[in-house]
Amino acid sequence: MRACRVPFQVLPLQIRDHKPEIDAALQAVLAHGEFILGPEVAVFERQWAEFCHVPHSVGVGSGTDALHLILRALGIGAGDEVITVANTFIATAEAISYAGARPVLVDCRSEDYLIDPAAVSAAVTPRTRAIIPVHLYGQPADMNSLSAIAQNKGLALIEDAAQAHGASLADGRVCGSLGLAAAFSFYPAKNLGAFGDGGAVTTRDESLVRQLRLLRNWGSVVKYHHEVQGFNSRLDTIQAAVLSVKLRHLAAWNDARRTAAGWYRSALAGCPGLALPVEASWTGRHAYHLFVVRLLECDRDSAARKLAARGVQTVVHYPVPIHLQKAYSELGLRPGAFPCAETAARGVLSLPMFPEITQAQVAYVADSLRAVLAS
């Protein structure tokens, strides 16, 4: 195999380009030594809330914890059902399971792989307490339709915004402000990534914020005094410091991702056997966390291997829908249960996407993909 000519992403580039800012932020934390819930955490929480156009943000240990703690804070647990989509990372379903509730899976839309509101509506039962749409690949779900369902049925609408930092609807409202609460991940590979795990919840609900702050810190506000049974899930100070620095550049990085997406669209326009990403009518700004194509006529895994041989690194998001994972065999769902999710799983391929990718690199990826499909 040739050396990698176009990597899937290159995280060290962000460090290289902003090293003095990052070093200064880290040195400040090392100087004061408040590594858990230090002042930088509160600073980042305010900055992230402002970025998401909401009054409150609570930093937690990961995006999975963010979803889990929202559900816990809402009192959702044993005997309750939470609806989410089958084609997502398993953490979305596992957060529901951690809370003691039952994940109820539904299919996605065939055109953009986002959760299907019609399927959500049909899945509501007397036990349903919440809906968790996933803003997949950096594109918002159909939040207007989902909000109508949630309001009509008295359900909590919780955004899984782990891939949607800075994405927005056509009316200008941003992901993180579209439901009762939103969960974000700051896993290093995200559009806004930490130097390890991290997450946050955004919300307008003050009572929810109080519960989240209790739950993330052992159920405690005053040390050694515990109001509820909580968890150890705190965004640590070093990660908050790094995130504050990187947040200054997020809008520009997202613009660069959208520019790269435009290059891909031009270079791959009309390519036989290939479906390009579809931007939904309600989408204002796609964050392009991923640029995901679907191969219509050839074996996806074989194509990925041939691209790798040409030096192009690709990833599959995601090869196995939740309902076909061994971990969720308890749901009793078989192949064919969610045809759109299963079709996507067989054919989707994520092409290299990062803010620093060059037009020449995109052109090479596109030329390589055309050659592989033609062969």
Contact 264, 357 (CB under 8 A): no
| % of the chain exceeding 90 in pLDDT | 98
Q: Is the pLDDT of residue 48 over 70?
A: yes
SS (H, E, C) 266-324: HHHCCCCCEECCCCCCCEEECCCCCEEEEECCCCHHHHHHHHHHCCECCECCCCCCHHH
Backbone Cα Rg of the chain: 21
Give the residue from 103, 63, 62, 56 showing the smallest Cα distance to 84. Answer: 103
Is-above-0.85 flag for pTM? yes
Residue 72: Cβ-neighbour burial (10 angstroms; 0-12, 13-18, 19+)? buried
Averaged confidence pLDDT in the chain: 97
Alpha-carbon distance of 200 to 239, in angstroms, equals 12
The residue type at 47: Q
Domains and CATH numbers, the chain: 12-106+113-245 (3.40.640.10), 250-374 (3.90.1150.10)
Q: Is the pLDDT of residue 18 over 80?
A: yes
Task: Tell me the pairing of strands 181-185 and 156-160.
Answer: parallel
Per-residue pLDDT, 4: 80
Per-residue pLDDT, 2: 56
Contact 295, 347 (CB under 8 A): yes
pLDDT interval class at 1 (50, 70, 90): very low
pLDDT digits (tens, 9 = 90+) for 94-149: 999 999 999 999 999 999 999 999 999 999 999 999 999 999 999 999 999 999 99
pLDDT digits (tens, 9 = 90+) for 136-192: 999 999 999 999 999 999 999 999 999 999 999 999 999 999 999 999 999 999 999
Alpha-carbon distance of 190 to 138, in angstroms, equals 10
Q: Which DSSP letter does residue 330 get? A: G
Give the residue from 108, 89, 119 showing the smallest Cα distance to 183. Answer: 89
